[in-house]
C-alpha cells in the first residue's frame, strides 16, 4: 500500500479520458443523481 | 528487520493516524452539540409562517455563514487553490447541496403528515445508509474486524432506538394524520441525507478541504431551496411572506448560522473518521435539541413520569450508541483500505497523489503556499456580518418563557466545544 503512494508523481496525473467522461462513468455520480431525481419525484407526488 | 529510520516513520504515521481519529471523534461530538443547538433560535419563531419560508430563510443564513466562515478561517485563496486541484468536486458539492434541500423539504411534509415522533426515527436511519455507502464505495469498515463492525453498526442501531424513544417523548401530540405520504416523505428524507454523504466522503478522500466543499455545497442548497420555494408558493407570495416575517428573519438566520458551525465539524468528522462513524456521532444532535427544548423552553413541563422515563431511557441509549461508535475507531488495516480508495480517486481524476496523501493526513503539501486572507475575504465577512446586524435591528424578542440560566449553561458548553475542537483542529491540521 505504501508502495502505491510512493509510485505516484508529485504533479497531477495525466489522464487521457475526458474530464466529463470520468464524471459520467462514475457510479458515485449516478447514485446521488438517481436519489435526487427520486426525491424530486416523491416531493411532486406528495404535494 | 527494517532500518531504524523506517520503523520510526511507521511509529510516527501510526501516532498521527491515532491523533486524527481522536480529532474526528471530537469533531463528531461537537457537531452533535452545535447541530442540536441550531433548533433553539427557530423555537423563538411563532407559528403562522409557511414552513417552506422558514426553511428558505434558514438556508439564506446558512449561505452567508458558509461563505464568511471559510473566508475568515482560511481565506478564499485556499478555496480557489482547492478547486484548481480537484475541479470535479464542485459537481459533487452542488449535488450534495441539492440533496440536502430536497431532504429538508421532505421532512416538513413528513412532520405535517405523521408527526415528529414517527418521522424523526425514519429519517434518522440516514446513518445506516451512510454506513452502507461507506462500506460499498469507500472501503470503510473493510478489514476492521468483527468487533469494530459490530461496534459501529450496533451503535448506530442503538442510536436509532434511542432516537425513537426521544422522538416519541418529545412529541406533544399524536400524528397529525396517518398518511402513507408522510412515511414516504420521512423515508425519502433519510435516503437523500444518507446518500448526501457519498459526495462528502468523495471530496475528503480526494483531499478537498471541508471549508472549500461547503462553499460550493451552499450554491446547490440555496439554488434548490429557492427553486422549491418559488415553485411551491410563487414569486410574489414568497416575497410577501418574506416581508411580513422580517421581525423573525434574524432568529431563523441565526439558526442557520449555528447549524453551519455544527455542519463544519460534521464535515471534519466525515473527513477524519469516515461517514460510517462520523455521521452517527453527529446524529446525537437530537439529544442536544431535546436538552434545549426541556431545559430552556420547558417543553416537557408538567408531563407524566413515563414521558420523563422515555426521555432518560432514550438519552441513555443514544449515549450508549455514541460510546460504542467512538470506541470503534479505524485500525491501521482499515485505514490502508481508505488510502486505496483515495488512490483510486486521485488516479481517476488526475489529482496529484502527494496532495491527496497530505490532505488525508491533515497537512499541507511540501512547498504549498500558506493560506492567507485578502481584501475579498474581509469584504465577505463584513458583508455577511452587516446583513445579520441589519436583520438583528429589525428583530423582535418574542414574548415567551425562556429559562436563561440553562440557556447560558448550554451556550457555555457550546463555546467550550468550539474552543476545544477549534484549537485541536488548528494544532493538528491548521484546518487542512
SS3 B125: coil
Are B276 and B132 contacting, i.e. CB atoms less than 8 angstroms apart?
no
Whether residue B74 lies within 8 A of chain A, CB to CB, comes out as no
CA–CA gap between residue B383 and residue B67 (Å, rounded): 10
Site of grid cell 473493510: B142
At B84, is the pLDDT very low, low, confident or very high (cuts 50, 70, 90)?
confident
Domain for residue B137, yes or no? Answer: yes
Positive/negative CA dihedral, B31, B33, B39, B40: negative
Q: What is the mean pLDDT of residues B185-192?
A: 90
Structural domain range at position B182: 40-429
B191–A38 C-beta distance less than 8 A: yes
Whether residue A3 lies within 8 A of chain B, CB to CB, comes out as no
Domain for residue B376, yes or no? Answer: yes
CA–CA distances in Å: residue A32 to residues A38, B20, B74, B99, B195: 10, 28, 29, 8, 6
Domain for residue B2, yes or no? Answer: no
pLDDT, tens digit, for every residue of B345-374? 888 888 888 888 888 887 777 777 777 788
Given a cut of 70, is residue B65 above it in pLDDT?
yes
Contacting residues for B124 by C-beta, under 8 A, at least 6 apart:
B159, B160, B163, B190, B283, B286
DSSP annotation of B74: T
Residues of B in contact with A13 (CB under 8 A): 346-347, 350-353
| B277-B87-B220 Cα angle (round to 5) | 65
The pTM (predicted TM-score) of the whole model is 0.83
Domain for residue B190, yes or no? Answer: yes
Residue B5: its pLDDT value, please? Answer: 56
Total domains in the fold of chain A: 1
CA–CA gap between residue B312 and residue B331 (Å, rounded): 33
Q: Which among B53, B406, B23, B397 has a CA at the least distance from the CA of B210?
A: B23
Phi and psi angles of residue B269, each rounded to the nearest 5 degrees, phi first: -65, -45
Q: What is the mean pLDDT of residues B17-30?
A: 90
Residue A1: its pLDDT value, please? Answer: 38
More confident residue, B418 or B327: B418
Given a cut of 90, is residue B414 above it in pLDDT?
yes
Residues of A in contact with B102 (CB under 8 A): 36, 39-40, 43
Residue A15: its pLDDT value, please? Answer: 54
A22–B349 C-beta distance less than 8 A: yes
At B1, is the pLDDT very low, low, confident or very high (cuts 50, 70, 90)?
very low
Given a cut of 80, is residue B152 above it in pLDDT?
yes
Site of grid cell 429557492: B226
Q: Determine what percent of chain B is predicted with pLDDT higher than 90.
A: 19
Given a cut of 50, is residue B31 above it in pLDDT?
yes
| Range in B174-178, B186-190, B294-298, B312-316 the model is least confident about | B174-178
Total residues belonging to chain A: 47
Whether residue A21 lies within 8 A of chain B, CB to CB, comes out as no
SS3 B44: coil
Average pLDDT over chain B reads 84
B341 alpha carbon, distance to own chain's centre: 23
At B420, is the pLDDT very low, low, confident or very high (cuts 50, 70, 90)?
very high
Domain for residue B288, yes or no? Answer: yes
At B46, is the pLDDT very low, low, confident or very high (cuts 50, 70, 90)?
low
CA–CA distances in Å: residue A14 to residues A2, B306, B405: 21, 64, 60
Q: Which among B208, B197, B224, B214 has a CA at the least distance from the CA of B106?
A: B224
CA–CA gap between residue B86 and residue B205 (Å, rounded): 11
Structural domain range at position A26: 2-46
Site of grid cell 452542488: B94
Domain for residue B320, yes or no? Answer: yes
Burial of B405 (0-12, 13-18, 19+ CB in 10 A): exposed
At B206, is the pLDDT very low, low, confident or very high (cuts 50, 70, 90)?
confident
Residue B8: its pLDDT value, please? Answer: 63
Q: What is the mean pLDDT of residues B48-68?
A: 83
Run of H or E residues at B9: helix B4-37
Domain for residue B7, yes or no? Answer: no
The ipTM assigned to this model is 0.82
Total domains in the fold of chain B: 1
Count of C-beta atoms within a 10 Å radius of residue B233: 17
At B92, is the pLDDT very low, low, confident or very high (cuts 50, 70, 90)?
very high
Output the tens digit of pLDDT for each of chain A's 47 residues: 344 444 343 344 445 557 788 889 999 999 999 999 999 999 888 87
> In this structure, what C-alpha cell is assigned to residue B388?
445579520
CA–CA gap between residue B108 and residue B94 (Å, rounded): 22
Run of H or E residues at B267: helix B249-273
B98–A35 C-beta distance less than 8 A: no
Amino acid at each position: 500500500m505504501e508502495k502505491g503512494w510512493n509510485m505516484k508523481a508529485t504533479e497531477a496525473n495525466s489522464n487521457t479520458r475526458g474530464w466529463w467522461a470520468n464524471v459520467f462513468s462514475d457510479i458515485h455520480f449516478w447514485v446521488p443523481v438517481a436519489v435526487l431525481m427520486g426525491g424530486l419525484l416523491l416531493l411532486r407526488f406528495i404535494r | 528487520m527494517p532500518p531504524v529510520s523506517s520503523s520510526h516513520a511507521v511509529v510516527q504515521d501510526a501516532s498521527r493516524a491515532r491523533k486524527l481519529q481522536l480529532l474526528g471523534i471530537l469533531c463528531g461530538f461537537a457537531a452533535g452539540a452545535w447541530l442540536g443547538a441550531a433548533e433553539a433560535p427557530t423555537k423563538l419563531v411563532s407559528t403562522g409562517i409557511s414552513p417552506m419560508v422558514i426553511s428558505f430563510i434558514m438556508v439564506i443564513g446558512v449561505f452567508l455563514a458558509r461563505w464568511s466562515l471559510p473566508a475568515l478561517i482560511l481565506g478564499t485563496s485556499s478555496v480557489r487553490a482547492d478547486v484548481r486541484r480537484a475541479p470535479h468536486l464542485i459537481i459533487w458539492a452542488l449535488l450534495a447541496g441539492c440533496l440536502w434541500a430536497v431532504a429538508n423539504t421532505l421532512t416538513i411534509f413528513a412532520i405535517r403528515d405523521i408527526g415528529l415522533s414517527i418521522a424523526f426515527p425514519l429519517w434518522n436511519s440516514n446513518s445506516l445508509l451512510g454506513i452502507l455507502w461507506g462500506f460499498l464505495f469507500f472501503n470503510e469498515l473493510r478489514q476492521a474486524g468483527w468487533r469494530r463492525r459490530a461496534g459501529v453498526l450496533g451503535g448506530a442501531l442503538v442510536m436509532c432506538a434511542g432516537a425513537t424513544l426521544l422522538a416519541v417523548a418529545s412529541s406533544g401530540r399524536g400524528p397529525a394524520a396517518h398518511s402513507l405520504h408522510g412515511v414516504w416523505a420521512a423515508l425519502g428524507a433519510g435516503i437523500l441525507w444518507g446518500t448526501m454523504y457519498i459526495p462528502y466522503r468523495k471530496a475528503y478522500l480526494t483531499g478537498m478541504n471541508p471549508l472549500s466543499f461547503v462553499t460550493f455545497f451552499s450554491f446547490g442548497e440555496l439554488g434548490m431551496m429557492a427553486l422549491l420555494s418559488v415553485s411551491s408558493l410563487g414569486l410574489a407570495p414568497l416575497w410577501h411572506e418574506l416581508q411580513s416575517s422580517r421581525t423573525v428573519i434574524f432568529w431563523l438566520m441565526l439558526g442557520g448560522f449555528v447549524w453551519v458551525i455544527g455542519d463544519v465539524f460534521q464535515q471534519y468528522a466525515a473527513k477524519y473518521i469516515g461517514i460510517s462513524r462520523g455521521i452517527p456521532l453527529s446524529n446525537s444532535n437530537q439529544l442536544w435539541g431535546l436538552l434545549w427544548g426541556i431545559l430552556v423552553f420547558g417543553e416537557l413541563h408538567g408531563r407524566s413520569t413515563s414521558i420523563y422515563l422515555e426521555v432518560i431511557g432514550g438519552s441513555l441509549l443514544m449515549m450508549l450508541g455514541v460510546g460504542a461508535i467512538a470506541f470503534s475507531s479505524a485500525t491501521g488495516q482499515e485505514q490502508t483500505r481508505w488510502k486505496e480508495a483515495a488512490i483510486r480517486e486521485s488516479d481517476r481524476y488526475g489529482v496529484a497523489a502527494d496532495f491527496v496523501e497530505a490532505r488525508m493526513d491533515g497537512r499541507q503539501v511540501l512547498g504549498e503556499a500558506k493560506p492567507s486572507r485578502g481584501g475579498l475575504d474581509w469584504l465577505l465577512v463584513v458583508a455577511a456580518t452587516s446583513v445579520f446586524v441589519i436583520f438583528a435591528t429589525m428583530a423582535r424578542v418574542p414574548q415567551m418563557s425562556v429559562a436563561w440560566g440553562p440557556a447560558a449553561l448550554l451556550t457555555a458548553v457550546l463555546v467550550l466545544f468550539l474552543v476545544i475542537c477549534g484549537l485541536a483542529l488548528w494544532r493538528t491540521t491548521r484546518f487542512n
